[in-house]
Amino acid sequence: MGSIKTPLDRVMGNLGRSVAAKRGIDIHSAPPNVRDSMPDEAIQISSQKEYLSDNCKTYTELELSSTPDKEMVRTIQNRRGNYRQPPNGDKPLDFFMTTPLEVAKKDDRSLMDVAVFGLGKTPSFKPIIYDLPDTVISVSGSNLHGMATIFDYDIVLFMVSYLNYEMEQVRQTIRRGEDSYLPPRTLQVPVIELLKAIRRKDSGNHYVQLEKALDRLSSTHIKIKEKPDASKTTRRIGAFNLIDGYRAVQRTDNGKISELSIRIPDWIYDGIVRTKTPTVSTVHPNYFLLTKGLHRFLYRMARKCAHNKPWDYKIETLYQQSGSTSPFRSFKADLKKAIAELQIQPLPDCTVEWIVKGKQIYIRFTYLGTCEQVKG
């Protein structure tokens, strides 16, 4: 069996053939010592602007610059299509960090199987009503700003992560027999650190978009009401906005917010601070790079429902819990396309499958990561 060629081997092979052609060498019939020297020769011509990695910032760009196969090019382009490129200097965050700004990101499990936001990149102004077996959940935005989007919700994930990290430190202190102050109800953070934590670029446009996102989060209202005739729900009941307001602590000379103060809603604060076992789950760092709202929704569903074993959802149920304002037929087509895209470039630690059983369509979620539920 021949050796397995990596993409880098293919790059060097192309370079070698290029150099060989220029020098009149047939690399298939050349002696081993000549063939073995080809990658070195390829490297030596980099100063002549012929090295294929010139101007390539990512490994995928290197692959695309080196392959003549059109089908391979399409495969690579599709493979990277579900994720945006990380900002320069970005490094995926590790599980264990020492500062609250760089801890592993957490999500509140009680809100992971419904969309308490719009799935598009532009705000929706139409309220969402979820009539679930145990509760009725309503989500609405203001007439001025509209409803928060799933991309705006990254700020809430940051807030939940910060609060959970702070409470872990408090509980460690208590276990040592010492008293400890509770985390503040207001999170104050430099904007550059917030953008870095949710893996966005430190650029002028992102500062503008951040302020608009904060306006939508402040005006997005959620109400969770238990049905009187339902069996006891596992969801916490209450009404709250996604954030309880914000304030620009500092601005730059050109008006951009440089430091931010965010008021944490009581519902979120109490769910972590006043609960011995807060129901939060770790969010994979690459979640923040997903470019499509439907892919993000499917990741959250997998994280919520498939933490012990594969979980099948009827497509009609998934439609109801997505909050989609599109007709069912359009949602079904969009979902089928989204799942096909995920077969080329999967979600982080998850698989999503389109399953047909007779006349019924199911969506099967499987979570492949560590099945943990953080307990304080």
Q: For residue 363, what are the contacts with CB-CB under 8 A and spacing of at least 6?
A: 298, 312, 313, 315, 318, 335, 339, 352, 353, 354, 355
- Please tell me the distance from the alpha carbon of residue 360 to that of residue 314, in angstroms, as a whole number: 7
d(CA 270, CA 282): 19
Task: Tell me which residue has tokens 């799933």.
Answer: 150
SS3 per-residue string spanning 78-96: HHCCCECCCCCCCCCCCCC
User: How many CA within 13 A on the CB side of residue 5?
Assistant: 10
What are the b/e assignments for 296-310, b being 16+ CB within 10 Å? bbbbbbbbbbbbeee
Task: Give the other-Cβ count within 10 Å of 136's Cβ.
Answer: 14
Mind listing the pLDDT tens digit of every residue in the chain (376 residues)? 444 433 333 333 443 444 344 444 443 444 444 444 444 443 343 333 344 344 545 445 545 655 556 665 566 555 557 877 777 666 544 332 333 344 455 656 556 678 899 999 999 999 999 988 888 999 999 999 999 999 999 999 999 888 888 888 888 888 888 888 888 999 999 999 999 999 998 877 888 899 999 999 999 999 999 988 777 777 888 899 999 999 999 998 888 899 999 999 988 888 888 877 777 778 899 999 999 999 999 998 888 876 668 899 999 999 999 998 899 999 999 999 999 999 999 999 999 999 999 999 999 999 887 655 433 3
206 vs 201: CA distance, rounded Å: 7
DSSP letter for 348, please. T
Residue 31's CB is within 10 A of a number of other CB atoms, namely 8
The token pair at 1 is 């069996």
pTM of the model: 0.73
Q: Please give the full DSSP string across 303-341, using - where no structure is assigned.
A: HHH-SSS-EEEEHHHHHHHHT--S-HHHHHHHHHHHHHH
Residue 366 near residue 306, CB atoms below 8 Å: yes
Q: What is the CA radius of gyration of the chain?
A: 25
Would you say 231 and 134 are in contact if contact means Cβ atoms under 8 Å apart? Answer: yes
Separate counts of helices (H) and strands (E) for the chain: 11, 12
Residue 365, classed as helix, strand or coil, is: strand
Query: What pLDDT score does 77 carry?
Result: 57
Q: Where are the domains of the chain?
A: 7-79, 100-367
Angstrom distances, CA of residue 141 to CA of 42, 117, 148: 59, 9, 7
**Can you tell me whether residue 151 is helix, strand or coil?**
coil
* H or E segment to which residue 356 belongs: strand 350-357
- The letter for the amino acid at 317 is T
Q: 299, 85, 296, 112: which is closest to 199 by C-alpha? A: 85
Token couple for 46: 């980099």
